Chain A
């Protein structure tokens, strides 16, 4: 009896082993499902008037798995119907029939890399390929919601076309998690030059369509704006204390990174950028002298023995803030810090001398506007 049972058990086991495809993971399946909600369609409507700050919805679901994006096109940019590749598409017209085509394309994966794509643009205008070193020297960096955009400005003669008509490409590439985004303006040289700053501002305004139920934490919507209103700081669900501030419109919030409470990117007239970080640490956070000397080292300054004569106190909405304005060989740094409820809050703006100095007044107002939890 036992032998029969054993043989039966072994036979059953053998059957299972020799029939590994008995699961339901293979084969063509046909089924019916409810229609999925369609992504927002391009309205095809131009911005309400040239100065409207209403975000335009552009594109359907994007290549590379991106959802629709929202951007604030500058005056005079005419939205074009989306294509299967373009997340956003605009046409801008100038004098004497000059036109420039502006596009945003996302492609999944690395798409060949930044250098290869930049050289593809060079080749389109009949220019020789450049090296990684050339690219590092010539490219500018523009902050965006998708990361740091590497921007190149190329002039030349297209293989099929006229230089005066189609001889300039201002293009930006930002590789990201699982996809690469291409911002591109191509067209008449003079018109492209005239639209360059608008193009850079537009890059900064592009963001993914907000998911239902709220926006990106700490990212006010374009329609809400930031002027004058007390904008809540990043809405965190953890135990981090929450603060509020009033930030200028020209400062673009970007996602906070590790150890940062919030980050803003500031772009100058010529495309140069400054970075403003807000961070909070429990307790004394290492002491003032050590911190100041660490900051001085970051901008190429020698350490100091005492900071009493350097730090300038500032009176804010909810107390005193110590501030520093330091200029070194590597740039300028504006810092403010204060201690509240057992935490030390740091506000640090770093960037080129001219841009950072120009932002000083706004930085001071920003520091004064900060409200801390009681």
Chain B
């Protein structure tokens, strides 16, 4: 049982939760994730470690309430409990001095971008962050990202903040003028696909942090398999980061959709069961 210290809305449909998990807080590194299971009947889902505090013994996650598990997690109140939190999982980002790094984030991916850019900055890199969201309200962690970035660019689909259009357009324009030493992208799979196709002609090393469906998160099921360089790799133990130029994004996009119908069914089932709260 893992105690929830705080759980609050930071944008419509997006929450930031702090959970007591001392052994994970001590070990966490940028680029890693945890697997959580909210309650006895719950599914195991992966969420990225956005922040951690080894002294407090806590970890912070940012999640979008899209389906059953994230809704359930959203309902756990301060002082309540999450049944299982396992981690830190996945390989940490290889932090070293590349030179100029462009970080591209989209949606909740902006939260995942934060710890990685923070560490890159500490390692002496020049950080250019590009963050995007559908609309200005959904733009999360802007201040925190600004703090770790030398330059920060914003794009919203509706133009309510910054550039009107996709964050990938910003990257395209940037590349027309300058070629960075590394591009790091995290967000919707389609965004990472576009990022990789934009950088390919420039030959810029591009790292993407993939988010396939996972079950155990420890290499035991193969649900998270993706094709990288023509071979099956398990995102939970071989990744989650891969060379974006070698990832078969189309099959990944297809796999993420596999349970669409079931997910809708589960959600309506949850809603019918009503608003039972957890762990209070």
A, B co-complexed: no
Interface residues of B (CB under 8 A from A): none
Interface residues of A (CB under 8 A from B): none
